[in-house]
Amino acid sequence: MSSIIDRRLSGSRSNANRERLQRRVRGRLQEAVEKMGRSGAIESLSKGDKAVVIPANDLHEPSFRHDSAKGSWDRVLPGNKSFHRGDEIPKGGGGGQAGREGAPDGEGEDALGVLLSPDEFLDLLFDGLSLPNLRQGTGGEIEAEQWRRSGFVRDGSPARMHVARTMRAARARRLALRASKRRALEALQEEREQLLADIAARKQQQDDVSIEEEHLRDIDAQIAVLQRKIRAVPFIDDSDLRFAHIDRHTQPRSQATMICIMDVSGSMGETEKDLSKRFFLLLYLFLQRQYQNVQIVFIKHHSVAQECTEKEFFAAREGGGTLVSPALALAEEIITARFPADEWNVYLAQASDGDNYFADNAVVEEVASRLLQRLRAFYYLEVNRDDESHLLQAYQELAEFFPQMVCTRARQREDVYPLFRELFSKPQVLEHG
Amino acid sequence: MVNRLLFSDNDWSFSRLDAVDHACAQIAQEELGLDTYPNQLELISAEQMLDAYASIGLPVYYAHWSFGKQHAIESGQYKRGEMGLAYELVINSNPCISYLMEENTMTMQALVIAHAAYGHNAFFKNNVFFQQWTDAEGILDYLSFAQSYIAACEERYGIPEVSAVLDAAHAIARNGIDRARRPRKLSAREEEMRRQERERYLEQQLSEIWRTLPPTSSAERPEQESRFPAEPTENLLYFIEKNAPQMPSWQREILRIVRKINQYLYPQGQTKIMNEGFACFVHYYIMHRLHETRQITDGSLLEFYASHTAVVFQPDYDDPRYSGINPYALGFAIFRDIQRICVAPTEEDWRFFAFAGDPDWKKQILFAMREFRDDSFILQYLSPKVIRDLHLFALHNDPENESYRVTAIHDDAGYREIRESLAQQIAESSRPPNIVIDKVDRWGDRRLELRQLDVTPLSEKDAQSTLGLIQRLWGYDVLLTGNNSEFSLAARRD
């Protein structure tokens, strides 16, 4: 007898093999991922499965086998159209009758496509990198009180009443309280039927039925009582009420905010924006892996600074001169208002071509040195510029006093990922207040 | 008996599967007289089918990166639409497990049940080669034993260590099969007990073979010391498992697991044409009978024809789709022809086949299914008609010549030659290069010497890497030479 089993829900079992494959080719995967990190489309970095192609010769499985190209052989083939015994067929000529057959597994496969999930991809992309100045251990982490659900209770505010649980309890109570009475009622009704039949029978024989009728009245009275009792079991009772309970938990909170500042004055062209965007995105993805919650704030500026949406941030192109200090001042304002330093790890990333109104550099220095005390890190990326700008020089001076000030430069998109790796692969030991 | 349609629209459901299975069982058992293991039909998704592909169709298998690689290749091809998945997959076990894809239409499920659950199943149970070489009862148990043993090794010695041993074992797995001796039955529990016993025994044994104390007197120092091994031995995996000087016992056990599983799979490679041919014959018969008895509609029959013809299609040698002889096509053609030779023999058949005109064609089919394997089956049953239908011709390649020579075509002079040539070709294609362990220098540097007995050149790069892997297992130098010393490869201990 055949048995039929539905296995569809038992899922895939290839993960162990997949994990071993990735372990084996980790180096190759890493190369491929880094290549994508350098030149791949920016949007695709953060989402979706990624097909990574690695050379398959690392994965070749050797065995003793004959070389099909060498030696003499006899072979039978199907589909003869015009050959006769003794015909000679020039080798390498059109027919293609040999060689295709019997190519053993393992030949001709020169590349293997491996599909990486977003997590696997980012693991490889950020492999070996660490965030400097990350608060570690319980001491440094931010404690936050949070309300959290914790079961159900019988008492609470009406607003938190849990209807489904309450109805379930009510139903259980009703069933329990009515069950014995229902049973008794059924028994009585059966007895009554019996009695009625008796009475009918006796009447037919013209016997006296007064005792039976007495009995019947008695039963009817009992039935009435039971029915009343059953009806009296309330549909819902105070004891049924259930409330969702919430409780306060203190837990270490790891959250960060990333403030992106970009110059959108006329001098920032597509190339400059692309470079900046790559850097911001990498930083964002990286922070996201370090913190449970990462907030992101965009500030664009030319001579005035303005908080904006992501779309505006990358699309904006406005004319005018450039002043950096208003952007920093705005950042400071936002931090003060929204991201108190004891709850948030604040990172600031600025991208600019370095053009700044000369007299502004002094103001920048002043604001920045105030700002730096409240930041985990301040990344300044100077894009597409041959020489070092005055702004960069000003920041570099600051970096001597504030180790969280990090300056770097990029000329083309391929530079961004390597410089990113460089920034985060060196262990930086910083003290902070 | 009044037959009702088993289904009229094409969605499958469990009750329909059950009904179809009953109908197929009835035809298979009562009309064809097939004897099968009990069936277990399992519905699986495409993803699970890909998993099964990666582990050679085995339901339980240990983990190794090469299966992950296989999976990556196949799922890539599948997702790009370059490869369709098989409709079914069947495992030689008792009960016989058949996987049915959930994407199949009801007609396809019927076809698959007839093909796998009755065709293949009967073949597994009755073919003499499977009976002698595999153990359908014990395999599922043994596979779980293997899986948990290897997982335990990974836990204990690390994944890279275990993987290195498996890599090497897989490389010589094809040279790890006893071709002449029947293997013992498998049982997971006994296996575990025997394993422990073996471990103890082996340690004593080995110290005996590899005793390093100098012999007490130089007279004993063996000039006449017999060769070791006494006879060249072709089972490399077995020899290394038993004799590697310093291998920890868990590694020996892993070699044994690889050897046992390959031994179990061995008959499948030896009977591909017969097995598929017979299963096609069975599904062809059952589907027609279902139609004749009005249990499936004309539409279903047409759908069945479409899949069936695709499966048994043999592209010509010059067709871009050609990739060797299609075992389904050849096997099916031969089994059908056996039936024809019984039912409607021609004058030619009388000359070629003693059984021509036998009124009991079922007996002849079952006999052919039971008693042969691919090469002997071809030799016995490849008829002139099938050779003509497929337009088979034989080609000879001499590497010295500028051209191939046609040595036989489908004519009176060529039938026997084609038959022999094809049987030979099939026998060879399923056989690895004939490499034996010639001797071990027991008293010197413990070098392991391999010799290739056949003359067909080896792929040198592969041979060299394989030697390297053997060297890792053996622990000392490994040397491979041609039978007449045409070549010599070595892998040295670093």
* B166 touches A: beta carbon within 8 Å: no
Nearest CB partner across the interface for A91, out of B18, B41, B402? B402
B75 touches chain A (CB under 8 A): yes
pLDDT at B486: 77
Residues A417, A287, single domain; the answer is yes
Tens of pLDDT, residues B397-453: 888 888 899 999 999 989 999 999 999 999 888 788 999 999 898 878 889 999 999
Q: Of the ranges A171-175, A359-363, B67-71, which is most confident?
A: A171-175
Give the minimum alpha-carbon distance from B218 to chain A in angstroms, rounded to a whole number. 41
Ordered alpha helix ranges (H), A291-412? 310-315, 325-338, 360-372, 390-401
Is the confidence at residue A102, as pLDDT, over 50? no
How many whole angstroms separate alpha carbon A54 and alpha carbon A113? 6
Sole residue written with tokens 């043999």: B314
pLDDT at A46: 66
Fill in the DSSP letter of residue A14.
-
Min mean pLDDT across B133-142, B198-207, B304-313, B435-444 is at: B198-207
pLDDT of residue A138: 34
Radius of gyration of chain B measured on its C-alpha atoms: 26
Contact flag A79-B435 (C-beta cutoff 8 Å): no
Tokens found for residue A199: 């009475």
CA–CA gap between residue A398 and residue A394 (Å, rounded) = 6
Is B72 in contact with A84 (Cβ distance < 8 A)? no
Residue B395 to residue A76, Cβ atoms within 8 A? yes
The per-residue pLDDT for B295 is 93
B159–A20 CB contact, under 8 Å:
yes
B399 lies within 8 A of chain A by CB: yes
Residues of B in contact with A91 (CB under 8 A): 401-404
Residue A64 has pLDDT above 60, yes or no: yes
CB pair distance less than 8 Å for A14 and B95: no
pLDDT score at B378: 96
CB A423 within 8 A of CB A379: yes
On whether residue A407 sits in a domain, the answer given is yes
Last residue of a domain, one of A221, A243, A265: A243
Strands A50-55 and A111-116 come out as: antiparallel
Whether residue A2 and residue B314 make contact (CB cut-off 8 A), yes or no, is no
Given a cut of 50, whether residue A105 has pLDDT beyond it is no
The per-residue pLDDT for A103 is: 38
Is residue A100 in a domain?
no
The pLDDT confidence band at residue A42, using thresholds 50, 70 and 90, is low
Mean pLDDT confidence for A268-294: 81
Between A42 and B345, residue with greater pLDDT? B345
pLDDT grade for B185, boundaries at 50, 70 and 90? low
Q: Which among B409, B413, B466 is the nearest to A83, CB-wise?
A: B409
Q: With 80 as the cut, is the pLDDT of residue A104 above it? A: no
Residue B209 has pLDDT above 70, yes or no: no
- pLDDT tens readout for residues A295-337: 889 898 888 888 988 888 877 777 777 888 889 999 999 988 9
The full set of domain ranges for chain B reads 14-127+271-306, 323-429, 435-491
* Residue A71 to residue B457, Cβ atoms within 8 A: yes
What type of residue sits at position A125?
L
Residue whose tokens read 């919650």 = A293
User: ipTM of this predicted complex?
Assistant: 0.83
> Residue B216's pLDDT is what?
54
What does the pLDDT look like over B108-144, one tens digit per residue?
999 999 999 999 999 999 999 898 888 888 899 999 9
Q: Is the pLDDT of residue A107 over 60?
A: no
B20 touches chain A (CB under 8 A): no
Contact B158/A at CB under 8 A: no
pLDDT in tens, B159-169: 999 999 999 99
Q: Quote the pLDDT of residue A97.
A: 42
Same domain, A214 and A284: no
Tell me what pLDDT residue B120 has. Answer: 95
Predicted confidence at residue B195, as pLDDT, reads: 78
Query: What residues in A contact B117, CB-CB < 8 Å?
Result: 2
Q: Say if A79 falls within a structural domain.
A: no
The mean per-residue pLDDT over the stretch B174-189 comes to 74
Nearest to B427 by CA among B464, B397, B454: B454
Domain assignment present for A151: no
pLDDT at B239: 93
Across A347-368, b (16+ Cβ under 10 Å) vs e yields bbbbbbbbbbeeebbebbbebb
Domain that holds residue A38: 17-57+111-127
Check CB contact of B407 with chain A, cutoff 8 Å. Answer: yes
A275 and A419 part of one domain: yes
User: Is A96's pLDDT higher than 60?
Assistant: no
Nearest-5° Cα angle at B164, B159 to B165: 105
Say if residue A279 is in the same domain as residue A380. Answer: yes
- Of A24, A67, A109, nearest to B459 by CB-CB distance is A67
Q: A376 and A279, same structural domain?
A: yes
Given a cut of 50, whether residue A254 has pLDDT beyond it is yes
| pLDDT score for A360 | 86
Average pLDDT on B172-186 reads: 77
Q: What total of structural domains would you count in chain A? A: 3
Same domain, A316 and A387: yes
At residue A144, the pLDDT reads: 61
- Tell me: do A319 and A213 sit in the same domain: no
In A, residues 87-146, which contact B (CB 8 Å cutoff)? 87-91, 95-98, 100-102, 106, 109, 112-115
Contact at CB, A75 and B425, closer than 8 angstroms? yes
Check if A79 contacts B (Cβ < 8 Å). Answer: yes
Q: At residue B91, does pLDDT exceed 60?
A: yes
**Is the Cβ pair B392, A77 closer than 8 Å?**
yes
Contact (CB<8Å) B391/A5: no
Per the domain annotation, does A91 fall within a domain?
no
**Predicted local distance difference test score (pLDDT) of residue A43:** 62
The secondary structure of B217-228 as a DSSP string is STTTS-SSPPPS
In this structure, which amino acid lies at residue A9? L
Best probe of the A interface among B22, B40, B42, B65, by most A CBs < 10 A, is B65
Residues A210, A177 share a domain: yes
Cis peptide before B95 (omega within 30 of 0): yes
Distance from CA of A55 to the nearest CA of B (A): 12
**Three-class SS of residue A352?**
strand
Q: What percent of chain A has pLDDT over 70?
A: 87
Residue A101 predicted with pLDDT over 60: no
Q: How confident is the model at residue B274 (pLDDT cuts 50, 70, 90)?
A: very high
Residue A261 has pLDDT above 60, yes or no: yes
User: What's the pLDDT score for residue A136?
Assistant: 44
Mean pLDDT of chain B, nearest integer: 88
Domain end residue (candidates: A243, A270, A291): A243
**Rounded to whole angstroms, how far apart are CA atoms B203 and A229?**
83
pLDDT greater than 80 at residue A427? no
How far apart are the C-alpha atoms of A21 and B76, rounded to whole Å?
A: 15
What pLDDT is recorded for position A206? 84
Beta carbons of B425 and A76 less than 8 Å apart:
yes
Q: In this structure, is residue A93 part of a structural domain?
A: no
Instruction: Report the alpha-carbon angle B285-B291-B293, nearest 5.
Output: 100
Give the mutation candidate from B109, B397, B430 for the A interface (greatest A CB count, under 10 A): B397
Find the mean pLDDT for residues A330-359: 85
The Cα A221–Cα A213 span in angstroms is 12
Q: Which of A418-432, B215-229, B443-457 has the lowest mean pLDDT?
A: B215-229
Least confident window among A94-98, A244-248, A358-362, B451-455: A94-98
* Residue among B383, B490, B403, B414 nearest B447 (CA): B490
User: In percent, how much of chain B has pLDDT > 70?
Assistant: 93
| Secondary structure class of B408 (helix, strand, coil) | strand
Task: State pLDDT tens for residues A111-160.
Answer: 787 778 888 888 888 887 777 665 543 334 555 667 788 888 888 888 88
What's the whole-number average pLDDT of chain A?
Answer: 81
CB < 8 Å to A116, chain B: none
Q: Report pLDDT for A106.
A: 39
| Subunit contact A80:B66, Cβ cutoff 8 A | no
Res B186: pLDDT: 65
Looking at the fold, whether A378 and A261 belong to one and the same domain comes out as yes
Number of H helices, E strands in chain B: 20, 9
Q: Based on the domain organization, do A162 and A235 belong to the same domain?
A: yes
CATH of residue A287 = 3.40.50.410
Name B282's Cβ contacts closer than 8 Å, sequence gap at least 6.
Answer: B28, B32, B34, B114, B115, B118, B119, B122
Confidence of residue B182 (pLDDT cuts 50, 70, 90): low
Q: Does B173 touch chain A (CB under 8 A)?
A: yes
Evaluate whether residue A284 is within a structural domain.
yes
Residue B255 has pLDDT above 90, yes or no: yes
Query: Given a cut of 60, is residue B298 above it in pLDDT?
Result: yes
B15 interfacial to chain A (CB closer than 8 Å)? no
Q: Is residue A67 part of a domain?
A: no
Cβ(A120)–Cβ(A30) below 8 Å: no
- pLDDT > 80? residue B210: no
HEC readout, A83-140: CCCCCEEECCCCCCCCCCCCCCCCCCCCEEEEEECHHHHHHHHCCCCCCCCCCCHHHH
Neighbours of A391 (CB within 10 A): 25
A67 interfaces chain B, CB cutoff of 8 Å = yes
At residue A140, the pLDDT reads 42
Phi, psi of A331 (to 5 degrees): -60, -45
